[in-house]
Amino acid sequence: MNIDKLLQSVRNVPDFPVPGIQFKDVTTLFKNPEILKELSDGLYDMYKDKGITKVVGIESRGFIMGPLLAEHLHAGFIPVRKPGKLPAETYEVSYDKEYGKDTIQIHCDALDETDVVLLHDDLLATGGTMVAAVELIKKFRPKKIYVNFLIELEELKGRAAFDPEIEVTAILKYAI
């Protein structure tokens, strides 16, 4: 995977969503078919030998690469969504964010103890959403859980929020 090419493809948007934030826009990774293929193939190479049976994508940008990766891995894709978006019975977890509380849900029949799960999202900042997603996934007692991000903002130390038995990877890392 050509990390320099990927890093050059991420757009930096100053003062979004609030002044002082340097937003890392991953949509620029997806619009170029060559970059998208580089990213997709690189993610596949990272996980092809892990026995992944389900890729779980976090709303909403986890819904972009998650299904592509699931297809490459011959795995199923499972969405984790905000309340009221999933039609069947769900488990949910609420968690604190920098600006309030949030909740995420997953269908109660989405996974089981035979699954090897890869949780995927676009960005690791403080880790709150993904830590809550891991808590949801643990309700199913899968064989193994892996966590992946496209980007990690290392200075925010979000990686420290995860249990040590969870393998956390990020493709692109920024010191901020």
Q: Establish whether 152 is a catalytic residue.
A: no
Place of tokens 């995977």: 1
Q: Among the options 59, 61, 92, 154, which is catalytic?
A: 61
Q: Which of 59, 89, 98, 113 is catalytic?
A: 98
Please write down the long-range contacts of 110-115, taking CB distance under 8 Å and 24 or more positions apart. 110/54, 110/56, 110/78, 110/140, 111/54, 111/56, 111/78, 111/137, 111/140, 111/142, 112/140, 112/142, 113/140, 113/141, 113/142, 113/143, 114/53, 114/142, 114/143, 115/53, 115/54, 115/140, 115/142, 115/143
Which residues, 6+ apart, have CB-to-CB distance to 98 below 8 Å?
126, 128
Q: Does the annotation count 167 as an active-site position?
A: no
Amino acid in position 108: C
CA 53, 58, 59 angle in degrees (round to 5)?
135
The residues annotated with a catalytic role in the active site are 61, 98
